[in-house]
């Protein structure tokens, strides 16, 4: 068996308060990793900044590696673990910024970053979309990352699976307007997370934030889901906290052999999938 232990963090990032959010993230890592040996810790999308910062995102965007990456890379090295978290990144041109996620490794090394491909309307006003779906090599196996609304697009998760990912980290700010009913959006979130796990027969570690901002109420419900959509651990309530699960990555290969979801694809029949709308 290739057993690893993963943790998913559910937190309330405070809008624009990067130092406070990084301090809270560091405390979560300390709590989790002193409780037991953990191989991976996953935080939500835009965990360092909050969501509705608008033009303020330009002021807090970081080049990679920068202060946030360096701080959490040190935490990863302290506990010999991997950490995935969402933040705002920028290129040399200051006005070009991305809704991104970073993965750092157990020696404090920067393993890479992913830039969100699918931007909903309000995010398009602030961010440039990414253009690739990298798979990151870790000490325990290949890992993919998606951010928020990416989860609604099955092509993204399937592309990562076809490129070898055995575990998908989802960093999210999934929520609804205060006037809308929470339950419908919880069902939507759970359906997407479990569907992406089952249709690709891999593990999904999905960290979603909580709290309220100007237009959104974020619903939490972070979870660890297995290759048959079984829930290994979850945080059901809208509280800050974390959930830990031990999983067997060999189950990915076994499940794919049983279900034949990858092997029995018929790519020549799927031309419409890559046709631009």
Sorted by where each begins, the domain ranges of the chain are: 3-274
Contact 69, 104 (CB under 8 A): yes
pLDDT at position 5 is 98
Does the CA dihedral 98-210-20-81 come out positive or negative? negative
If you classify domain 3-274 with CATH, what class do you get? alpha beta
Q: By C-alpha distance, which of 116, 122, 100, 128 is closest to 54?
A: 122
pLDDT at position 230, please? 98
Question: pLDDT of the chain along its 277 residues, tens only?
Answer: 899 999 999 999 999 999 999 999 999 999 999 999 999 999 999 999 999 999 899 999 999 999 999 999 999 999 999 999 999 999 877 789 999 999 999 999 999 999 999 999 889 999 999 999 999 999 999 999 999 999 999 999 999 999 999 999 999 999 988 878 888 899 999 999 999 999 999 999 999 999 999 999 999 999 999 999 999 999 988 899 999 999 999 999 999 999 999 999 999 999 998 888 7
Rounded Cα distance between 154 and 97, Å, is: 25
What are the Cα distances from residue 198, in Å, to 22, 89, 110? 33, 31, 30
Helix (H) and strand (E) counts for the chain?
7, 15
| Distance from C-alpha of 258 to C-alpha of 263, rounded to nearest angstrom | 10
Q: For the sheet with 97-104, list strands across it.
A: 110-115, 97-104, 82-90, 40-42, 3-10, 241-248
Q: Which residues of 128-143 are buried (b: 16+ CB within 10 A; e: fewer)?
A: bebeebbbbebebbbb
């Amino acid at each position: 068996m290739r057993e690893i232990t993963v943790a998913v963090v559910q937190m309330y990032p405070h809008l624009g308060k990067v130092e406070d959010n990084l301090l809270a993230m560091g405390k979560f890592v300390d709590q989790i990793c002193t409780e037991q040996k953990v191989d991976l810790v996953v935080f939500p999308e835009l965990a360092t900044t909050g969501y509705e910062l608008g033009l303020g995102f330009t002021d807090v965007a970081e080049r990679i590696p920068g202060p946030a990456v360096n701080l959490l890379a040190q935490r990863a090295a302290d506990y010999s673990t991997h950490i995935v978290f969402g933040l705002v990144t920028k290129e040399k041109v200051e006005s070009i910024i991305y809704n991104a996620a970073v993965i750092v490794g157990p020696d404090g090394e920067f393993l890479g970053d992913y830039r969100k491909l699918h931007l909903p309307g309000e995010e398009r006003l602030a961010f440039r979309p990414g253009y690739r779906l990298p798979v990151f090599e870790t000490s325990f196996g290949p890992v993919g990352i998606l951010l928020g609304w990416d989860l609604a697009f099955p092509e993204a998760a399937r592309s990562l699976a076809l490129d070898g990912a055995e575990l998908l980290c989802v960093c999210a700010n999934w929520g609804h307007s205060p006037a809308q009913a929470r339950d419908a959006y919880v069902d939507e979130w759970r359906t997407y997370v479990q569907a992406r796990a089952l249709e690709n027969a891999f593990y999904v570690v999905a960290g979603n934030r909580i709290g309220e901002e100007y237009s959104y109420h974020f619903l939490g419900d972070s979870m660890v889901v297995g290759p048959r959509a079984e829930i290994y651990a979850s945080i059901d309530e809208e509280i800050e906290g974390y959930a830990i699960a031990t999983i067997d990555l060999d189950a990915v290969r076994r499940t794919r052999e049983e279900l034949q979801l990858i092997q029995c694809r018929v790519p020549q029949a799927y031309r419409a999938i890559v046709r631009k709308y």
